[in-house]
Amino acid sequence: MRIGVVRIALRLHRSASLKEKRQILQSLIAQMRRRFNVSIAEVGHLDDWKSALLGAAIVCNDGRVNNALLAKLVEAIKRYADVTVEDYEIEIL
């Protein structure tokens, strides 16, 4: 069993308050859960309304499959209109 983890640092463009940040992130997180069947949540920068840190994890038998799925997840988030991916780190355990 292999566990893949990714941490994604985001910059939010249209957020002017924590409430708007939560709305943007809830929509993004729900879409990524449905599309990639991953566990994903906001794990950092909780009080900053212009940035966010997301963490996502997936379990699979093959580390290469985990890496590929998490890379696709990052690419999908990069295409999301309201955010910019500033940095990300994929780790296979």
Please count the other Cβ atoms lying within 10 Å of the Cβ belonging to residue 64.
11
Q: How many residues does the structure list for the chain?
A: 93
The structure tokens 């599309």 sit at 35
83-92 sheet: strands from edge to edge: 39-44, 51-60, 2-12, 83-92
In tens digits, what is the pLDDT along the chain, a chain of 93 residues? 899 999 999 999 888 899 999 999 999 999 999 999 999 999 999 999 999 999 999 999 988 999 999 999 999 999 998 899 999 999 999
Tracing tokens 């799925």 back to the chain, one arrives at 69
Write down the pLDDT at residue 14: 84
Question: Which residues is 33 bridged to in the sheet?
Answer: none
Single-letter residue type at 84: T
Give the 3-state secondary structure of residue 61: coil
Superfamily of domain 2-92: TT1725-like (3.30.70.1120)
